[in-house]
Amino acid sequence: MITSKTISDGILRALATIVIVALILYFLFQIQVVIIYLVVALILTLIGNPILNFFKRRLKFNNLFGTIATLFIFILIIAGFIMMFVPLISSQSQSLSLLNTTEIEKNITQLTNQITAFLDYHNIDSAQMLKEANISSKVNFNFIPNFLNSILGTISSFGMGLASVLFITFFFLKDRVMFIVGAKKILPDSQEDKILNSLEKINILLSRYFIGLLLQLSIVFVLYLVVLLIFGIENALIIAFLCAILNIIPYIGPLIGSVLAAVLTMISNLGSDFQTEILPLTIYILIGFWIVQVIDNNVSQPLIFSSSVNSHPLEIFLVILIAGFMSGILGMILAVPIYTILKVVGKEFFPENKVIKILTKNI
């Protein structure tokens, strides 16, 4: 029989649960920086595990020296990027007009006028529409230097963040066995094998995925750089690097990168004739980038997304598409790793489910 006391106790328990959940979420929000450090360290650990295994098995390093050597490689790569790109950005930022709002607006206005003149010469009505739009007066170009200034403002904390991530990564790599032993003591006996098997499979698949992703970005960077150098584009290294990084965003990133490359190409050649020099050069760059994407979409991506995580390309495409609609760009970036984790967990805990059987037959 339900009494008023039972109802009131239920309400109090529900309120207490809501308060506890709210406090936990608030706590997680307050330590979001630490969570980001942990996630980045985990990704580095997944990338570093094969390197650590190589040092231990092939070069006969013990666990400590293998971990130190792996971390040293990470430090060398990070230092290499800093040494390569910071001087380039410092020396070439003026030509890219990154920090000068007036110069940015002037360049965009000049480019708009050249496009308008080109369209007007060919009797295209959109030229008048372009004049009426008056893009330069409606776009707030302050967002560019403001954005860059916010980045510069975080450089002071970058050192601490990098040191924290590397410190966490060191112990993730060195004490992996200890963490597994500790997890065995905490996990319920009935589910221990399933959970540990899931973690092992997830570790293998995601390690392959992140290493493959780095390889893909490196290939795209080199191909972009070759295209830009062939046509003598200024700041080719920086433009290729930025466009390659944008490839982390599936499907949309390459499109944004192509537009960025086209705009920077036109801006860097404003002193030339638009019809005979700027427009043909921009078209050649776009064609070159399109060829790179054809190579990437038909060679690099299938090998990485299909082979590394054992999923069909169409399956991956639908997962990324759904994640994009649900969570935007961040969802698209995280779609493949999260989907891989769900597949592994599903196969371990629900192996008889018909749908899961079909989706995980290659795992």
Q: What would the pLDDT profile of 83-124 be if each residue is shown by its tens digit?
A: 665 555 555 454 444 445 555 556 666 667 777 777 666 666
> What value does the mean pLDDT take over residues 341-363?
81
Of residues 95, 96, 135, the one with CA closest to residue 113: 135
What is the structure's pLDDT at 71? 92
The pTM of the full predicted model, rounded to 2 decimals, is 0.68
Taking the C-alpha atoms of residue 325 and residue 331, their distance in angstroms, rounded to an integer, is: 8
Longest pairwise C-alpha distance within the chain: 89
How confident is the model at residue 154, as a pLDDT? Answer: 54
Contact between residue 249 and residue 301 where contact means Cβ atoms under 8 Å apart: no
Summarize pLDDT for 158-209 with one digit per residue, the tens. 667 888 889 999 998 888 878 777 777 777 777 777 877 887 888 788 878 8
Question: What is the share, in percent, of the chain residues with pLDDT greater than 70?
Answer: 76
* Count of Cβ atoms closer than 10 Å to residue 264 Cβ: 21
120: tokens are: 């007007």
121, 275 contact by CB (below 8 A): yes
- Taking residues 47-71, report their average pLDDT: 88
**Lowest-pLDDT choice from 60-64, 188-192, 351-355:** 188-192
Name residue 244's amino acid: A
Q: Is the pLDDT of residue 62 over 50?
A: yes
Residue 265's identity, in one-letter code, is T
Alpha carbon distance 264, 256 (integer Å): 12
At 47, list the tokens: 């990338």
Minimum mean pLDDT among 122-126, 252-256, 267-271, 291-295: which range? Answer: 122-126
Phi, psi of 3 (to 5 degrees): -110, 170
Average pLDDT taken over every residue of the chain? 77
